[in-house]
Amino acid sequence: MSLDVYLESDPCPYCGRKDDGFSSNITHNLGRMAAEAGIYDVLWRPDEAGIERASQVADTLRVGITEMRADPERFRRFNAANGWGTYDQFLPWLKEYLAACEANPSARVRVSR
């Protein structure tokens, strides 16, 4: 099982063309690590957190990433025993998602969990 995140642009009001957007997924095994970093809600439940646009995700992700980088061992204790969901997999994924949010701040956020 995984979390799928999508950043979807609005169609151009003139021509109707729509950007391809961004999509990525990560294992649910990282939910506890995300909660420890304070980013669970913006990742897994943005709809319930009132998040509609990528710009609303970026600041929280930035803080979570900073926290995780400052104390890796605190977060590595949440590594999945089966190897499917580790700090070393999660941090690059978060950075990629943050970069996409920063590049597309007005994109709509959608998740499938």
d(CA 31, CA 48): 16
Residue 20 confidence (pLDDT) above 80: no
According to the model, what pLDDT value does residue 32 have?
97
Which residues form the domain of 82? Answer: 2-112
**pLDDT tens per residue, range 55-113:** 999 999 999 999 999 999 999 999 999 999 999 999 999 999 999 999 999 999 999 99
Per-residue pLDDT, 18: 78
Lowest-confidence pick of 16-20, 39-43, 66-70, 79-83: 16-20
Number of separate domains in the chain: 1
pLDDT tier, 17 (very low <50, low <70, confident <90, very high otherwise): confident
Q: Is the pLDDT of residue 25 over 90?
A: yes
**Residue 16: predicted pLDDT:** 78
pLDDT at position 48: 96
Question: What are the DSSP calls for 62-87, one per residue?
Answer: HHHHHHHHH-HHHHHTT--TTSSS-H
Assessment of whether the complete model's pTM goes beyond 0.75: yes
The beta-strand segments (E) located in 1-113 are 2-8, 22-27, 108-112
The residue among 85, 93, 89, 87 whose CA lies nearest residue 73 is 87
